[in-house]
């Protein structure tokens, strides 16, 4: 087995390697003078099972091109099997045609990876589960549940009358799983609520309505990603207005684009907890409200189970 990393999140890749008790493979992913990606592998991978750790986070196109060329390089170097470990799958939000003359980018990225010769994909909390079906049957996709890491964190907190909140109708299933995890692992009987939001346009929420009760409760907003944090800050205001004591947030992917950092600082949120699928900038690390948990043990266990031909579904129990 060989484990390689692109430039997107070398710290996470090193953590995963440490969990597996191995060193990262020797590879150079640099740029030519005109900005083209230059990949060079410095060790033999012929007949090896290769795992490439590369989230396609910002800059998305740069990191995606690195991943595609690394997969292609390994295929041309006669690797036996290539698994792309993509902690954050970029372009996942365009998963269907919501209007005329737009691409289905999540499916197009899947086809690009297949064309380069990937054999398996491991992701963490895909924005939409159906992305697994965008890959053909010869390329299985393991969608790891990052919520298990969040459950462990919040289960150890002394939450008063906890309520798990989904920030939209599409995330109710994720919130229910989080609630069930707290009940099974910590015997915490949490409530469930949902916010219905009306969007004026992309990244701009017009109105929010709460379904459920959060009076005198510590609330955890559970989502898959935080982008500009506009929705999150408004949701916290709505919950406090409706009687919540403290408002926390958990999301697997902290993109924190544009004004996100400033919005979080000014918001009524106690903590914004994310996984390290995407590296934080220095400004975000300095934000006292942002807490980052490591997903490396979960990914390392998944890689070990795949390599040893053991069950992946056992990780979700």
In angstroms, the CA 226 to CA 312 distance is 27
In angstroms, the CA 155 to CA 151 distance is 6
In angstroms, the CA 316 to CA 168 distance is 23
In angstroms, the CA 311 to CA 305 distance is 6
Show Cβ contacts of residue 111 under 8 Å, excluding neighbours closer than 6 positions. Answer: 134
Enzyme catalytic residues? 197
Token code pair at residue 241 = 């207005």
Q: 175, 147, 165: which is closest to 317 by C-alpha? A: 147
Q: Which residue has the tokens 């795992």?
A: 51
Q: 105, 93, 20, 91: which is closest to 60 by C-alpha? A: 91
**Cα 220 off chain centre by:** 18
């Amino acid at each position: 087995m060989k484990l390689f990393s692109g430039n997107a999140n070398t710290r996470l890749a090193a953590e995963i390697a440490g969990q597996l008790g191995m060193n990262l493979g020797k590879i150079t992913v640099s740029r030519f003078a005109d900005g083209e990606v230059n990949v060079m592998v410095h060790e033999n991978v012929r007949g090896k099972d290769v795992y490439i750790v590369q989230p396609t986070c910002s800059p998305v196109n740069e990191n995606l091109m690195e991943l595609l060329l690394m997969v292609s390089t390994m295929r041309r170097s006669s690797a036996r099997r290539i698994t792309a470990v993509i902690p954050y799958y970029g372009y996942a939000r365009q998963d269907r045609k919501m209007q005329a003359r737009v691409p289905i980018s999540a499916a197009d990225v899947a086809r690009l990876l297949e064309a380069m010769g990937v054999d398996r994909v491991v992701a963490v909390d895909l924005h939409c589960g159906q992305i697994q079906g965008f890959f053909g049957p010869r390329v299985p996709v393991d969608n790891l549940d990052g919520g298990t890491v969040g459950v462990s964190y919040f289960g150890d907190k002394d939450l008063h009358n906890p309520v798990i909140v989904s920030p939209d109708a599409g995330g109710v299933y994720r919130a229910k799983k989080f609630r069930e995890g707290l009940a099974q692992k910590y015997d915490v009987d949490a409530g469930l609520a949902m916010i219905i939001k009306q969007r004026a346009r992309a990244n701009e929420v017009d109105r929010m309505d709460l379904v459920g009760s959060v009076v005198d409760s510590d609330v955890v907003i559970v989502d898959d990603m935080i982008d500009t944090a506009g929705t999150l800050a408004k949701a916290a205001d709505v919950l406090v207005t409706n009687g919540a004591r403290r408002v926390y947030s958990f999301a697997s992917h902290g993109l924190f684009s544009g004004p996100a950092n400033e919005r979080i600082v000014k918001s009524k949120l106690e903590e914004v907890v994310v996984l390290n699928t995407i590296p934080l900038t220095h400004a975000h690390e300095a934000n006292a409200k942002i807490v980052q948990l490591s997903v490396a043990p979960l990914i390392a266990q998944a890689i070990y189970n795949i390599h040893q031909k053991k069950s992946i579904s056992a990780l979700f129990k």
